[in-house]
Structure 1
């Protein structure tokens, strides 16, 4: 089938175009394009073969929560309440990534402990002294924890190696983008702000690519 051979990659190319438009414009339709197109691609794969990708609904949910969370952050205008709501929605997105990874593997305990140690040190030594809002501080800490656990779970995914590596890289890119946001919003460091949206959009593309690779490895091309 053409879809299994080339069609999904064509749709991924559309995601790349949407990412470029999202970076170069302020149009929210384009800014939500990579997550939205990722959800569409996964839905198409589910229609073609419902059993080809296990637990893919967790990723669709993660993408949808990311879109809504991005809307809150794009419209916060200095309102910390909007920022907390955005963090809560991105927490749900990471929960989706975590559950998907756990349904396809197991969490890597030692790796997770190392990442947690590094990011907790970053939080308490760099970010904590800047907080004046307790709710925002707690929300940020909880989000940091789920981010580390989702990366640890991604490291333990089983199956197609390219799919695993792509998923891991996608989660790494999200955490990298969030780290830059933390420096921007809490520390006032802006030198790397230009990397926030490109890495965020690339994360969605790599995660979607991961599911495409898993789909292609599970479904015979002769069908």
Structure 2
């Protein structure tokens, strides 16, 4: 299923994630190194293991990871200016669009997404209803962002199962974790502060990226 290098990297990744969570709460100066380290380590891992993947597929995936890294960095400065949140949102929007392109390159044309998409739309509609009164000028950007991430999750569902069970399941789990992480972030920012929000948001986000990268690397 997963080779020794994947397992060893997962252990390292968990240590970096723990370091990120601890520094966010107690050692804020180190947090500026810890948070970017998550995606930097993942980018390096993907780069090292993606030699057999086509150049176009590799470039788009790396683009998604780089825009995610940029989004992480921008969101660290939201207390300085609200424009950093908007810029971070735009970076993650581009990351999701690139992930959509990667997932749809191996779409199963026979697979019907209506039930899956319907469940996601109900979920997204309920979430948007909860937070919309507090969005203000961010209403349209957040609405558009939600549509894109729901599309990303749907495109993960539409991937070919023949790519391998591990690849398919990992990418789909990663996409759903990404959706959960962004939902927690939206509720925490636009509805009500959540207890242990940094842990829940970062845990789901970090493993979302990890599962997606592992899944794409395991793709046949």
Question: What TM-score do you get using the length of structure 1 for normalisation?
Answer: 0.83
- Displacement of 1:119: 0.5
- Displacement of 1:198: 1.2
Q: Does 1:22 pair with 2:20?
A: yes
- Displacement of 1:100: 0.9
Question: What TM-score do you get using the length of structure 2 for normalisation?
Answer: 0.84
Q: Which moved more, 1:84-93 or 1:109-118?
A: 109-118
Give the superposed CA RMSD: 2.2
Of 169, 173, 178, which aligns to 2:173?
169
- Displacement of 1:67: 1.1
CA gap of 1:192–1:155, structure 2 versus 1, over 3 A, is farther
Contact 1:98 1:150 in 2 (8 A): yes
Secondary structure in 2 matching 1:105: coil
2:28 alignment counterpart: none
CA gap of 1:108–1:67, structure 2 versus 1, over 3 A, is farther
> Where do 4+ consecutive residues of structure 1 move more than 6 Å?
none
Structure 1 residue runs of 5 or longer lacking an equivalent are 219-223
In structure 2, what is the Cα distance between the partners aligned to 1:203 and 1:28? 21
Structure 2 residue runs of 5 or longer lacking an equivalent are 25-30
In structure 2, what is the Cα distance between the partners aligned to 1:192 and 1:39? 27
Of 4, 7, 10, which aligns to 2:5?
7
Contact 1:173 1:199 in 2 (8 A): yes
- Displacement of 1:146: 0.5
Secondary structure in 2 matching 1:32: helix
1:68 alignment counterpart: 70
